[in-house]
């Protein structure tokens, strides 16, 4: 007899923390396990590992660079990478492999960043190569790149907080006081728990100019000074103003990138010298080889990777008479030679992840940098005030040097020298110590006058610093001046070319490149599609379908034809038959919802082949209405894959038929009636989601249940069911017509 459950079953978990004394387990609710065990891990990944902060660095980057800074590698010579990795382990509690991989990405040799932070020597791999492995740490050498001086400027002036490392044996900075918006200059990617970050890189000169413009005018149009991202691998950026403004405003969106190429007439070949940042040369080579093998590209005789020390180069040998421009348009469409860079500007602000646009990020950076400058100025004021305090004590001695010497000479105990000087001149202990430490040779009027002369200068400097500290405009001017210096010293020309009038290959142009041959298309009731060539069809046996599935329809067409797939969510997906692989009768075929990227739970209701987009699509609905929509309404100039509002949502869809010209159809009602109606009686509607017109006069509780072409209905006595006007009640379906129709379906 089953034990009755009195409360929800609790999950039993075996962990060391909850194991009993004799190996038994204790019960712990799964919600408590997630809260106690999983949430701290998730927060650690988000806050301390995967997402960059406002200085543009993740903790692993910051710990590595600060270690190199403390090792004196900003001004000194290179040292073995293994030495740097070992020293970094004092701050970074991860393995040496993870630390070295971080260094590789920051290195000049890897070419990941527009402005590398590590000056490397040796093989550090390449960001544009998937298979080019970097050498081990014992073989390579590194030091900090000169631009790192802008990361550590004034780090010893209390500009940022210093915190304990993981074992509290030394201090490390919580952020680096970068003098420029590195968060948008250095590309960054990270995957946390439940969120991710993907930040593209922008040109340093353009970012500095944009930041300055925003500081002067909060309503500045960012697009005027920041036309688009700039990537270390170069290539071409296809400018789209709407998409760019969306990324700038929201921090989400994407940029289209394209490879840079040139045609070499002498060898009848194409040389690709720059590729999109988001792909790799091996990925491109593999895709081109796959297309050649599938017969989709026939213009290429050979393709090889000729990358050497001078940089990336992919060479394509062309067959005689091939148009290089047309081939590249085709390759852009079919391979990663044209790719998109998805943006997700997720940044930690005060420990909280936030997705922000470019303008908001620059505002946050400006506010943070202002705080750094304030802390630096306050630190400078403190140091100058301490110096001023000492000099004012020294000034007192100027009044009577002999008295100071006499006090020191006549004091018997060393410990009483400072107290006696304090009493004799009315100075405090700090000033008295400073006077007491002066060398005997410096107790002369010239030395003391020279030192005390700086008092007025120090007082003036302190007043200027306080004035700057209390003036928002002057603080802004300090930041602007530093940005201008960085831009002038480290700025460089764009690597990624911006194409403002890029011409996308239209479907008409690219359709010529698709091989044209006869095929037979089979579509099953559950949405599986098979495209079979005439030769394969002759050799094949019975068509195979998934258990419980069956053939919905089949038709002969060509490989260049397009199809419309209508779904139960009033949407239409467009596809080309050339996008489907040639299949066999023994295969199930391509599952359309998966192949076309449909929404979860969306199912196929009908598949229509378009031909030359002449003719009509007929929609029949349960409420007895029918809509006649020209096929041309689904023809698009751009290669759109999905059309919403493909048909009316006012009544459930029963059937979809297509015809090249007006013909006879049979509509059936659920109460056993049928009516033969000419499609010429239906006026075509240019609006896709039209409700149509009533074709059946339905009795109470009856609905339109089916629709067929007259030729497929099996009805012999056509005149009995033919209607001259609509809506029509139809005639009761006779058994012989019904039986013949059923026999026709069985065949």
The continuous run of DSSP H or E covering 106 comes out as helix 96-106
Whole-Å CA distances, 97 to 79, 88, 102, 122, 137: 18, 12, 9, 17, 9
Report whether 240 contacts 251 (CB < 8 A). Answer: no
**Pairing of β 497-499 and β 236-238:** parallel
Strands (E), 426-550: 497-499, 518-524, 528-533
Distance CA 319, CA 346 (A): 47
DSSP 251: S
Q: Which residues partner with 551 through β-bridges?
A: 524
The continuous run of DSSP H or E covering 394 comes out as helix 358-398
Q: Is 573 marked active-site?
A: no
Give me the DSSP letters along 553-579: EEEEEETT-EEEEEETTSEEEEEEGGG
Q: Given the structure tokens 């000049």, which residue do they identify?
A: 108
Burial 572-604 (b: 16+ CB within 10 A, else e): bbbbbbbebebbbbeeebbbbbebbebeeebeb
Distance CA 402, CA 683 (A): 119
Output the CA torsion 590→595→601→604 (10° steps). Answer: -60
Radius of gyration of the chain measured on its C-alpha atoms: 39
Distance CA 200, CA 254 (A): 10
Strands (E), 222-378: 236-238, 252-258, 260-264, 269-274, 300-305, 314-318, 338-344, 346-349, 352-355
Distance CA 231, CA 257 (A): 10
- Report the candidate in 243, 195, 207 with the shortest Cα–Cα distance to residue 359: 207
Distance CA 594, CA 603 (A): 10
Distance CA 506, CA 319 (A): 24
Distance CA 615, CA 608 (A): 11
Strands (E), 423-516: 497-499
**Pairing of β 518-524 and β 551-558:** antiparallel
What tokens were used for 20? 């009993």
Quickly list H helices, 470-578. Answer: 472-490, 507-511, 534-539
Distance CA 471, CA 134 (A): 50
The active-site residue out of 139, 500, 517, 613 is: 139
Residues sharing a CB contact under 8 Å with residue 725, sequence separation 6 or more, in sequence order: 681
Q: Is 632 exposed, middle or buried (0-12, 13-18, 19+ CB in 10 A)?
A: middle
Active site residues: 139
């Amino acid at each position: 007899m089953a034990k009755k459950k009195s409360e929800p079953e609790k999950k039993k978990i075996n962990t060391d923390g909850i194991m009993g004394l004799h190996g038994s387990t204790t019960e712990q609710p799964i919600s408590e396990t997630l809260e106690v065990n999983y949430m701290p891990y998730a927060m650690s990944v988000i806050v301390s590992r995967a997402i960059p902060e406002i200085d543009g660095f993740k903790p692993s980057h910051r710990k590595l660079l600060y270690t190199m800074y403390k090792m004196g590698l900003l001004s000194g010579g290179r040292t073995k990478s293994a030495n740097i990795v070992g020293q970094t382990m004092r701050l970074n509690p991860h393995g040496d492999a993870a630390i070295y991989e971080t260094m590789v990405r920051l290195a000049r040799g890897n070419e990941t960043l527009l402005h590398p932070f590590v000056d490397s020597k040796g093989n550090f791999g390449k960001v544009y190569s998937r298979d080019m492995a970097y050498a081990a740490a014992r073989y390579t050498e590194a030091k900090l790149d000169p631009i790192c001086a802008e990361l550590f400027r004034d780090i010893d002036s209390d500009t940022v907080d210093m915190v304990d490392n993981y074992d509290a044996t030394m201090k490390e900075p919580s952020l680096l006081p970068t003098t420029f918006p590195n968060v948008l200059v250095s590309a960054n990617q990270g995957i946390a728990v439940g969120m991710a970050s993907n930040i593209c890189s922008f040109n340093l000169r353009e970012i500095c100019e944009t930041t300055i413009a925003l500081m002067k005018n909060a309503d500045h149009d960012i697009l005027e000074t920041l036309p688009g991202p700039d990537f270390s691998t170069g290539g071409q950026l296809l400018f789209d103003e709407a998409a760019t403004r969306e990324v700038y405003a929201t921090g989400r969106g994407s940029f289209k990138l394209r490879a840079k190429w040139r045609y070499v007439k002498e060898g009848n070949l194409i040389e690709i010298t720059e590729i999109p940042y988001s792909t790799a040369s091996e990925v491109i080579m593999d895709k081109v080889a796959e297309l050649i093998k599938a017969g989709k590209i026939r213009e290429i005789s050979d393709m090889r990777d000729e990358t050497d020390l001078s940089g990336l180069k992919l060479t394509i040998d062309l067959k005689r008479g091939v148009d290089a421009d047309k081939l590249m348009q085709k390759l852009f469409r079919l391979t990663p030679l044209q790719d998109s860079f998805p943006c997700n500007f997720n940044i930690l602000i005060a420990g909280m992840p936030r997705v922000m646009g470019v303008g908001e990020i620059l505002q946050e950076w400006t506010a943070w940098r202002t705080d750094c400058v304030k802390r630096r100025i306050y630190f400078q004021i403190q140091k100058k005030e301490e110096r001023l305090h000492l000099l004012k004590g020294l000034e007192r001695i100027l009044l009577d040097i002999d008295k100071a010497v006499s006090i020191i000479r006549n004091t018997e105990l060393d410990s009483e020298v400072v107290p006696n000087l304090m009493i004799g001149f009315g100075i405090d202990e700090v000033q008295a110590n400073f006077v007491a430490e002066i060398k005997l040779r410096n107790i002369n009027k010239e030395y003391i006058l020279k030192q005390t002369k700086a008092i007025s200068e120090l007082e003036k400097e302190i007043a200027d610093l306080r004035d700057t500290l209390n003036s928002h405009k002057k603080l802004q001017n300090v930041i602007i001046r530093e940005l201008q210096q960085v831009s002038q010293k480290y700025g460089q020309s764009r690597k990624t070319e911006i194409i403002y009038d890029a011409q996308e290959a239209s479907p008409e142009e690219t359709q010529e490149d698709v091989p044209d041959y006869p095929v037979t298309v089979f579509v099953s009731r559950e949405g599986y599609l098979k495209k079979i060539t005439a030769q394969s069809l002759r050799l094949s046996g019975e068509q195979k379908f998934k258990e419980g599935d069956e053939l919905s329809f089949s038709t002969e067409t060509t490989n260049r034809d397009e199809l419309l797939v209508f779904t139960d969510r009033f949407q239409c997906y467009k596809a080309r038959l050339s996008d489907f692989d040639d299949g066999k009768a023994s295969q199930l075929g391509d599952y359309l919802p998966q192949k076309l990227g449909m929404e979860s739970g969306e199912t196929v209701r009908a598949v229509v082949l378009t031909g030359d987009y002449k003719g009509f699509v007929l929609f029949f609905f349960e409420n007895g209405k029918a809509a006649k929509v020209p096929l041309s309404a689904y023809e698009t100039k751009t290669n759109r894959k999905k059309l919403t509002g493909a048909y009316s949502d006012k009544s459930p869809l029963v059937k979809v038929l297509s015809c090249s010209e007006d013909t006879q159809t049979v509509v059936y009602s659920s109460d056993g009636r049928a009516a033969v109606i000419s499609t010429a009686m239906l006026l075509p509607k240019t609006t896709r989601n039209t409700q149509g017109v009533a074709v059946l006069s339905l009795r109470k509780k009856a609905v339109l249940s089916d629709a067929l072409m007259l030729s497929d209905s099996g009805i012999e006595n056509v005149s009995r069911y033919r209607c001259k006007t609509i809506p029509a009640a139809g005639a009761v379906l006779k058994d012989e017509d019904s039986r013949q129709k059923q026999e026709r379906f069985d065949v």
